[in-house]
Structure 1
Amino acid sequence: MRTGRIQFAATVAFALATLGAQVALAQTKLKIDVLSSRPELVTGGDALVRVTGGDAAPSVAVDGRDVSASFKADPKGGWVGLVTGLKDGDNKLTVKGAGGEQALTLTNYKVNGPLFAGPQQEPFVCENETFGLDPATDASCAAPAKVSYYYRNKGGEWKPFDPNGQRPSDIGTTKTTEGKEVPLIVRQEKGVINRSAYLINILHDPAAGAPPAPGAASTASGWNGKLVYSFGGGVQANYHMGRSLGMMTGTDNKYFIEDLGGGLYDYFVTRGYAVATGSLNVMGTNNDDVKSAETMAKVKEHFVEEFGAPAFTIGHGASGGSMQQHLIANNYPGLLDGIMPARNYPDTISFLQPLYDCELLQNVFKSSSQKYSREQMDAISGKYWGYCVSNGTRYPNARAENCDASVKDVIANDPKVKALGVRCTYQDNLVNVFGKDPKTGFARNPFDNVGVQYGLVALNEGKITFDQFLDVNQRVGGLDINGKVQPQRMVGDTEALRRAYETGRITGTGALANVPMVDIRSYVDGDPLGLGDPNVDVHDGYHSAVMRARLQKYLGSAANHVMLTAASLGRVQLDTRTGGSPLITVSGDGLAAIDKWLTAVANDKSDQPLAKKVAAHRPADLVDACFPTKQGALVGAIEKITDMEKCKTLFKFSGDARLAAGAPATDDVFKCQLKPVDAKDYKTAPNEEQLAQLRKTFPDGVCDYTKPGVAQVKTGGTWAFFTGDGQYKFLDKTP
């Protein structure tokens, strides 16, 4: 017995010792992390790399070339080094140390060449001089980066700052989110990445030393270690570099330092956030969200290589800027850790489809022998009718000639370019996503209205007559291949729709659950200032509810989504540029809240899925709310109401023509499955003559919104890599 016990004890001791050795080995095993990008998507010939594991500095080589000297001890642990001199294509990175040996392949691409968005457009107009950069000498638009300094004086005015000249006596100061009071001096870098002008602003006083660098603590910078990425509005086809940078303003002597488009004013730099953006991150320059994601990936990569990895990256931008945030967070996870979409739209297709319907309904109401009251037009369109009057053709992305003036000039003056047949529709700009229709040679078109019963809800609510219902649906027509109104309804290409859903051009089934979302809008529905139908703002509020419905339906929860609606001063310009406006006040509070949220998520080192961490760490006081103005003279006098039923009465959201035709709250059926005309669908059954007219109007049937849309599939994965003409692969599965 005693001998057996001794043998058993020895066996246990040996097992524990072996386990201990295995644990120790696991703890010291070398690990390689590329901080600046995915290892298979490196650009520009360099990558910021971290090595952890082992007790001593590692030996690092690229294709046998020793680069160990580039690695320095990182205060956060491990060793960090900028690996340079990478050739185009694959580069083998090998790390050796006490923890063993590890290898990783870095695949490098040209910084101004294609990455994952597919072949680059031709023609392409470089506009370097707009940003004070040297003129382009070739199609890459490449130009040397330029660094400038600006300071804000004690009177609140931004001025150029010469780091080598006499120091101004009136430099203002600011206190960052870390409680650090620093001179309000901004280092601004501009250059060209991905044929896009780029901008990086970071607080830095050159008198105190060098700017912050990866793996090094800097006392010279007021940077709080966090990054805001700015996305600009509008929606238009590309073919040119652009003349604006995200939401950052270059007018009014502000030098692209302040956000006067989204309600954040000077909140970013004065609180210590670095800001980055690119001209191709402006939807009014480039409505290809994949190219926007590619531009962001490259610009952020450069930022990380220059300053180190931020604690987290917050997306910000209004209108078209909100579309980009949703689409990038949905489809390219990791680029954005949290988003603040203002004047929100879920995606670009969801923005354009209601406008196309508006144009078609305008044509009906203008030419009909039937008489429609204002209330009836509201009911059929699903929204305040002045919205359609003002915006039905304001963003004509179905028009082939909807090109920027700079592009039109090139087409007009260069026969070779004109021969290319440049088309500036939404789908032609995204031909890498949709592919070409072999019948036309143009991009496949995802837009469709076959079977849509316009005004169905209004009919069943008794707001329009059956004759009016028939009139609208018999004459509504569609848009042809060049975006002109035609008598026939438009037939969406099934393959284009499948690709739109599968690649995430329609948000809802991708990676959005992993991202905190603070949706902030100023309420501008209707015509609050009585400016008339031609002046109704395009940013009606129901799109926030649509996004909420998609999250709840497809992801099972909207715990990561907060909606904040602020009273408006009547116009977006007033809301975003009036100090103390409800929007600016709520936006500042929203920024502080999402910072707190993301900090808690970053500090959670558990093995819980990211979506659960995001849901668990939402601040308790960050809930859906509206902010009406209080009575009184102060612009910023607002109150917070969290009773959403009361908010619905104060800030009434409308909808669109598809919702008013019976579409689901997710508003993401862009080509419906059809069913036969059925008299039971109408509250007052049609007579035989009316039923015959309906069947003639809808010979193939009417929309069956109890079923998914045609070709409506879940996102096939994330990090879609497009190779041209609608061909793609996914680098990751959908989480």
Structure 2
Amino acid sequence: MKQYPPGPALCATPLALAIMLLAGCGSNGSDDPPVQIKTLSTRADLVTDGDAMVEIVLPSGAQADGLKVEVGGRDVSSAFALRNGRLTGLVTGLAAGENTLVASTRNASAAELKITNTGRGGPIISGPQTVPYVCATPVPQAATGTLPATHASGLGTAAVDAQCNIATEYKLYYKTTAASCSFALPDPSPNVPFDSTTPPTTATPPANPCFKPYTVGSTPADLATTTTDSGATVPYIVRVERGTMNRGIYDIAVLFDPAKPWTPVEPQAQWNGKVLYQFGASTGQPRRQFRPATAWTDDKSLSRGFMVVANSLTDSLQNSNRVMMTETVMMMKEHISDSYGAIKYTMGSGCSGGSINANMNASIAPGLLDGMTISCAYPDSESTLLEVNDCVLLVEAYQKPAWLNLMTTAGLTPAQANAKKAAINGHRDQTGCHAWFNRFGTNAQVGNYFARTVVDNTTGAINQASTLTNNCQLPTSQVFDKTSNPNGARCSAWDWATSIWGKSGDGNRSRETRDNTGVQYGLKALMDGAITGEEFVTLNEIVGGVDKDSQLVAARSQADTTALDIAYKAGIVMSGQQLAKTAVIDMRGYDDSLIDVPPGITAFPQALVGIHHQWRSFSIRDRLDKANGNHDNQVIWRFGRNGFTPSATMATSAFLTMDEWLTKVKADTSTATIEQKLKAAKPAGASDHCLLSTDAAQATKVTDTAACDADPYLRKSASPRQVAGGPLTEDVLKCQLKPVNAADYNGLLSAAQLTRLQAVFSTGVCDWSKPGVGQQPAVGWLTFAAGLGGQPLPAEPVSRAR
């Protein structure tokens, strides 16, 4: 429990309370209007960790004299004082569950507010937590028998309960004056094998760290100073708080003066009240506790007075349950408010899976993030999975005898055959799907599996591993096997988030959204003459789908319709209407191929992974346009050199531009909507531009969209679903169907081919003119505490006269 010194005593002693009660302190005459009680750090029904920042609002004409505040029979009046014209205080020691806080003053009658408190282990709105879940340990441990390897927590003590709560620790570091140093973490986590009995290897701190441990009272010769954005020059000393929240391990870093106190009602002045929340990349659903994947050592923000925050449960690699992730951000922000002080605004940042989590916060719970600077962006995981699954099926299909025979019979060279693949896939070349296949093709596997990998980008040849693995990172004996262990842990993203999706009729597997029923792969390629009618029909005959156990089958995949409803209603498919409430700067580089290398790449292939395609940023924009008629809140900065990671110069420019944007938004106290405020506050620098691949210095901003689009390394491609006729929004998880109509193929199919196609699509083909099955507006801020489907949060609790 957090401990803070008490504020000024207003009704401080039992004797004083008794005297003042007789004189009117807490004497609540029925004619006196009641006070109003508000929680400031979060809603009163979403409080965590036993603390709540509370404001007592006095009725007109009332005074704070004789203030009396009680909770659970305890007098907490001494926590309250008039601060900046407001009567506020931090109430600590709240019991688990419902608490009744009662407040009154001499000439204002009593009111009460019900406060519901949940432990810091969670959950609050994401429903029951998935088990098993393996806690991190102070020292990493190798796998033994039925226990998987554990990750090092970065904390000195063991977890105290099954929710992996670990005692919070604080460490001090200082920034050195060294001209050349490493911003890598000064205390890296040891490398732990996922599925191995091999002892973990030790991660070595950088030889020349920019941040070194600081000893209180010392003045290192190389101690740097920094000037914050408020103009204060201070020693560059950072305090890092490390602890656990919602079963994740978090880091909170901020400039700190060890010689001075810090309380939430009197924060140290060098913190500017702004939070940079860092979301980690990739996607996964391990059943193990990790440290955050992102480093707190972000100089551009720390040096200016920002607080830098991360939690491993908001790293996409460690948690693909987007509601749980969003809940974790909510809990972290409340903890900051209760421990450090009021937050002015929160800026999110992240690449790839990190961008998914930033977008998911904006879609699932608008308002948690005020703005975001993202790169290599995707809108969400459910619709991104459309491309992943399609690529898996297509890459496998291209290796089947029926397809290979067509290529051989036609006498095609490898380059000609690959051109057909690229046309069907919608990508720059065939390696876009190879990259998806290798990187995330197995991410939806529910049980133990042998990983399959494309080993030749020319032929598309696939190799299968000889060792079993699983996405839970649990011993294989504990994981689902259809025959030998049907009740074992299931390891897909949907099974990790069963509390959100609910279980199917068998009571074991989670409902899911995978679907390709009615999808005509290669339709546009056929119409454009890139493939023949025979190739089109054959491909759709052999492509098949996956069953509910993630096994390749001849039949097409079928989504659970209940899961589709949840995905859209909860905002798990990113909502353009919800995203419009958040400022976005999207930095988009080139990652469209594994063989067509852009200028500036010196570490190929490490600098490219082949999956962050240009069209994704414009797909997000299309959702905004379709939902709102504009994309006033979104800016796209494209760069044609050096791969998909923005330069430090661009990242800093985006950070400063977003800071200016959000500062102006927060200064707008009008009654305008947040969408209107975002548009009105948009800085001049927040506008679309690109840096051409021919610009070696990457210094000339080009605002001519046509010129940007003409650059070969800025040109947008598409996806298999778009080639099949789907929209750029890429948000139709399951299409509505219509009968096969010969007129739709412009005479490119023979009668026999049409007959075969009708056999493939006996229930119909996708009708892209209609919304997807279950597609509906996002409701926002649903709670899954009561179970399946989620319910809108009830009205926020308010105080009432007692």
| TM-score greater than 0.5 by the shorter chain | yes
The counterpart of 1:224, out of the listed 234, 248, 272, is 272
Structure-to-structure mapping, 1:430-469, within 5 angstroms: 430-439=497-506, 441-469=508-536
Deviation at 1:616, TM superposition (A): 1.8
CA distance in 2, matches of 1:328, 1:690: 47
Matched, 1:284 2:346: no
The counterpart of 2:332, out of the listed 299, 317, 321, is 299
Matched, 1:392 2:437: yes
Aligned to 1:552: 625
Q: Is the contact between residue 246 and residue 317 of structure 1 (CA under 8 Å) also seen in structure 2? A: no
The amino acid that maps onto 2:236 is L
Aligned to 1:617: 681
The counterpart of 1:120, out of the listed 120, 126, 129, is 129
Aligned to 1:704: 767
CA distance in 2, matches of 1:420, 1:45: 37
Matched, 1:588 2:646: no
Matched, 1:375 2:408: no
Deviation at 1:646, TM superposition (A): 1.4
The amino acid that maps onto 1:247 is T
Q: Is the contact between residue 390 and residue 533 of structure 1 (CA under 8 Å) also seen in structure 2? A: no
The amino acid that maps onto 2:231 is G
Shift in alpha-carbon separation, 1:405–1:453, aligned structure 2, 3 A: closer
CA distance in 2, matches of 1:392, 1:346: 20
Q: Show CA shifts across 1:36-95 (max 9, x none).
A: 2211111111111123445436432224432111013223x3022110121122212222
Structure-to-structure mapping, 1:62-141, within 5 angstroms: 62-75=71-84, 77-97=85-105, 98=107, 101-129=110-138, 130-133=152-155, 134-141=157-164
CA distance in 1, matches of 2:89, 2:293: 30
Deviates more, 1:169-178 or 1:596-605: 169-178
Deviation at 1:281, TM superposition (A): 0.8
Q: Show CA shifts across 1:193-226 (max 9, x none).
A: 111111100011314x123x3232634xx22210
The amino acid that maps onto 1:646 is A
Deviation at 1:190, TM superposition (A): 0.2
Q: Is the contact between residue 256 and residue 268 of structure 2 (CA under 8 Å) also seen in structure 1? A: no
The amino acid that maps onto 1:537 is G
Deviates more, 1:697-706 or 1:56-65: 56-65
Deviation at 1:187, TM superposition (A): 0.4
Deviation at 1:234, TM superposition (A): 1.1
SS in 2 for 1:229: strand
Deviation at 1:510, TM superposition (A): 5.1
Aligned to 1:646: 707
Q: Is the contact between residue 149 and residue 162 of structure 1 (CA under 8 Å) also seen in structure 2? A: yes
Deviation at 1:383, TM superposition (A): 0.9
The amino acid that maps onto 2:721 is R
Aligned to 1:731: 793
Deviates more, 1:150-159 or 1:669-678: 150-159
Aligned to 2:292: 245
Tell me, which stretches of 5 or more residues in structure 1 are unaligned? Answer: 1-27, 249-255, 259-265, 576-581
Shift in alpha-carbon separation, 1:413–1:694, aligned structure 2, 3 A: closer
Q: With structure 1 as the length reference, what TM-score do the two structures score?
A: 0.87
Matched, 1:537 2:610: yes
SS in 1 for 2:719: coil
Matched, 1:236 2:284: yes
SS in 2 for 1:370: helix
Q: With structure 2 as the length reference, what TM-score do the two structures score?
A: 0.80
Shift in alpha-carbon separation, 1:177–1:306, aligned structure 2, 3 A: same
The amino acid that maps onto 1:227 is V
SS in 2 for 1:206: coil
Aligned to 1:401: 447
The amino acid that maps onto 2:272 is N
Deviates more, 1:719-728 or 1:606-615: 719-728
Deviation at 1:246, TM superposition (A): 4.7
CA distance in 2, matches of 1:405, 1:692: 41
The amino acid that maps onto 1:690 is Q
CA distance in 1, matches of 2:491, 2:49: 30
Q: Is the contact between residue 62 and residue 91 of structure 1 (CA under 8 Å) also seen in structure 2? A: yes
CA distance in 1, matches of 2:129, 2:267: 39
The counterpart of 1:210, out of the listed 251, 261, 266, is 261
The amino acid that maps onto 2:336 is F
Shift in alpha-carbon separation, 1:216–1:113, aligned structure 2, 3 A: closer
Aligned to 1:171: 223
Q: Is the contact between residue 124 and residue 239 of structure 1 (CA under 8 Å) also seen in structure 2? A: yes
Deviation at 1:402, TM superposition (A): 6.8
Tell me, which stretches of 5 or more residues in structure 2 are unaligned? Answer: 1-32, 139-151, 182-208, 408-415, 450-468, 599-603, 797-802
Q: Is the contact between residue 281 and residue 316 of structure 2 (CA under 8 Å) also seen in structure 1? A: yes
Aligned to 1:18: none
Q: Percent identity?
A: 34
CA distance in 2, matches of 1:201, 1:418: 44
Shift in alpha-carbon separation, 1:566–1:180, aligned structure 2, 3 A: farther
Aligned to 2:455: none
SS in 2 for 1:314: strand
SS in 2 for 1:714: coil
CA distance in 1, matches of 2:574, 2:693: 33
Q: Show CA shifts across 1:505-546 (max 9, x none).
A: 101155222211111222222244385799642211211111
The amino acid that maps onto 2:124 is L
Shift in alpha-carbon separation, 1:383–1:595, aligned structure 2, 3 A: same
Q: Show CA shifts across 1:560-597 (max 9, x none).
A: 11111123313x5xx4xxxxxx5321111111111111
CA distance in 2, matches of 1:593, 1:33: 33
Aligned to 1:476: 543
The counterpart of 1:501, out of the listed 558, 568, 576, is 568
Deviation at 1:647, TM superposition (A): 1.3
The amino acid that maps onto 2:628 is L
The amino acid that maps onto 2:690 is C
The amino acid that maps onto 2:567 is A
Deviation at 1:32, TM superposition (A): 3.1
Shift in alpha-carbon separation, 1:405–1:206, aligned structure 2, 3 A: farther
Shift in alpha-carbon separation, 1:533–1:340, aligned structure 2, 3 A: closer
Aligned to 2:16: none
